[in-house]
Structure 1
């Protein structure tokens, strides 16, 4: 077959002959040719499309302006929502494993959460390329929409321990969303589960630090800091608990990196204008970036 014939066949999307398939398989050390229609029913899909619902997924992008950069903003937001969902699911799984005394399994899932957070942070990179001029061309299309209103993000924050009944009330206008957010508010957080585990392992965690109203923000307790300090002082007493302490710090570290990256991207694109959702924009993000989910684990470092 001449080069011209090969090119014509490729352009016409014609299948290879059996002889051509055999020769190509030999050139690739016997690797089988891919069959995109294997197991296919009908002619409007493939197994890959069916499994991932790719047709539905790729139909969900509806920018409202003619500005090309809006698609970058749009898709990045959707990607982050999916990562919020994944991280929320894995955080709850880890919490339940800690409550069930399955520490080794919990440590494995904390490793996965850290990897998700790395991807979440890097996902800001495309948005960081949007110039203020580009953003201004489609910002009005957002109206009052803001990532601050994300119910998946809010559930994630609650699962990690940043509880706020007032923030949950903001979703009451949409009953099914409020039900989801309220359930996350009332459930014990990942840190609550960790403190329960420390107490069961013999550390002096006061009852008021664990038997509490989970809808309320966690308040630092000197006895909890002392318990973590004892763990760090005598790491050989329970090396797996020490690994848990450091894994939780890793989680918080990478989450804070995501928050700080968000802050820098917004400051680069938006400057110090008010946020679209009614927040103060950069100033609000700067305050949020200072938050720590596991306060005693950070405080104890000063005394080591």
Structure 2
């Protein structure tokens, strides 16, 4: 902008660049018509819009999280740790976004939620196929968690695939074995559908990495990326519990779960146990 430019000249000049009738616009690229018309409240209550958008945006973040997490698992399997680190760091930051999303939902009071609850039917976040894929990709395998998706063969196939595939931690241990560390075969060639079991020999392997970080720098960094990831996941879970308790107390969840009691049990799940235990034993 020059000192002698007139406001009307600027508007005229910039306006010539604002006709998108012959090219793709911002809204076209992001398909905003679909996204912004996907909120269809069922109740007459003002606060249902918050409830819908909170969960829709969380599902979008989880879509990106799965995109990054699946790619990171593949990168670890190929021993391409540099790429994996970037993706895992992004997953941890996404989880931070999801933690703060609970802050917004926590502005909904118990009477406000009670006004919309009858309209939710049996729908529940417990039925989120994407969340279940995240849990399975991180190693928390449970065949009972396939059942909520049995009514949708397409979703069941996605969840089943995550259930039957090696988790992120499984691939990390297979990489350690490929690098020559004595990871027991029970933890590198196993039934991937089984929940992970802590192993003293696996901890010794990680201890050897952490006792010589300069010698095993990328594996040491892998351990810390896994620590960051589980730390963020724990915060996400904890904030979920406290928000649900704040809004509905100890009522049963709409999907039939125990609500807060069920969510609190999930806080005790440790995804990468040896990486946490070694901190005591170093």
Same fold at TM > 0.5: yes
Cα distance in structure 1, aligned partners of 2:77 and 2:16: 45
Shift of 1:25: 9.7
Please say if 1:183 is aligned against 2:161.
yes
Cα distance in structure 2, aligned partners of 1:21 and 1:116: 43
Tell me what 1:83 maps to.
Answer: 61
1:102-124: CA deviation from partner (whole Å, max 9, x where unpaired): 01111111111111111111111
1:229-258: CA deviation from partner (whole Å, max 9, x where unpaired): 111112122111111101110000011101
Q: Aligned ranges for residues 224-243 of structure 1 at < 5 Å?
A: 224-243=202-221
Determine if contact 1:21/1:33 at 8 Å carries over to the other structure.
Answer: no
How many residues end up aligned between the 2 structures?
278
Aligned with 1:287 (options 262, 265, 278): 265
Tell me what 2:41 maps to.
Answer: 63
Change (3 A) 1:19 1:167: same
Tell me what 1:196 maps to.
Answer: 174
Cα distance in structure 2, aligned partners of 1:227 and 1:65: 56
Please say if 1:116 is aligned against 2:94.
yes
Question: SS of the counterpart of 2:222?
Answer: helix
Shift of 1:33: 6.4
What is the RMSD of the two structures over their aligned residues, measured on CA atoms?
Answer: 1.9
Q: Which TM-score applies when normalising by structure 1?
A: 0.87
Aligned with 1:154 (options 96, 114, 132): 132
Please say if 1:52 is aligned against 2:33.
no
Cα distance in structure 2, aligned partners of 1:34 and 1:291: 58
Tell me what 1:273 maps to.
Answer: 251
Question: SS of the counterpart of 1:236?
Answer: coil
Change (3 A) 1:167 1:23: closer
Determine if contact 1:186/1:215 at 8 Å carries over to the other structure.
Answer: yes
Change (3 A) 1:105 1:130: same
Larger radius of gyration: 1
Shift of 1:21: 5.2
Cα distance in structure 2, aligned partners of 1:175 and 1:47: 36
Determine if contact 1:228/1:296 at 8 Å carries over to the other structure.
Answer: yes
Aligned with 1:167 (options 145, 163, 166): 145
Determine if contact 1:37/1:47 at 8 Å carries over to the other structure.
Answer: no
Please say if 1:214 is aligned against 2:192.
yes
Q: Which TM-score applies when normalising by structure 2?
A: 0.93
Cα distance in structure 2, aligned partners of 1:247 and 1:83: 19
Moved over 4 A (4+): 23-26
Cα distance in structure 2, aligned partners of 1:123 and 1:82: 12
